[in-house]
Amino acid sequence: QVQLVESGGGLVQPGGSLRLSCAASGSIFSIYVMGWYRQAPGNQRELVAAITSGGNTNYGDSVKGRFTISRDNAKNTVYLRMNSLKPEDTAVYYCHAYRTRAMFGDRIDYWGQGTRVTVSS
């Protein structure tokens, strides 16, 4: 019903920048929160940033001040601008979205397949 497709990952030197994109299709009208998680080898998956349909944002502590999340509702796309990248930012980045169903009192989560970001000299 909802599909998420990420793009924009790649190799970048420390201190560089990248912009990730996540395009949503399907029943996008029901999606209110979108965000990014990341997972590095041997590490737990962690929240990077999230944004509501109204523009409220939340960031993980490790990326505050360096990353910026935004969304274009007309294009059904969410972006993650990453500045001042560090080797510790190397991970697979996953787009995430969820919606709630008041009638059933539950929540439905959607995940993209991920895009790899490598920060290295």
Task: Say if CB 46 and CB 58 are below 8 A apart.
Answer: no
- 101-115, pLDDT tens digit by residue? 888 988 889 999 999
Closest CA to 115 of 34, 38, 3, 26: 38
Task: Say if CB 94 and CB 39 are below 8 A apart.
Answer: yes
pLDDT level of residue 100 (50, 70, 90 thresholds): confident
Which of 10-14, 25-29, 31-35 is most confident?
Answer: 10-14
- 37-75, pLDDT tens digit by residue? 999 999 999 999 999 988 899 999 999 999 999 998 788
Residue 22 has pLDDT above 90, yes or no: yes
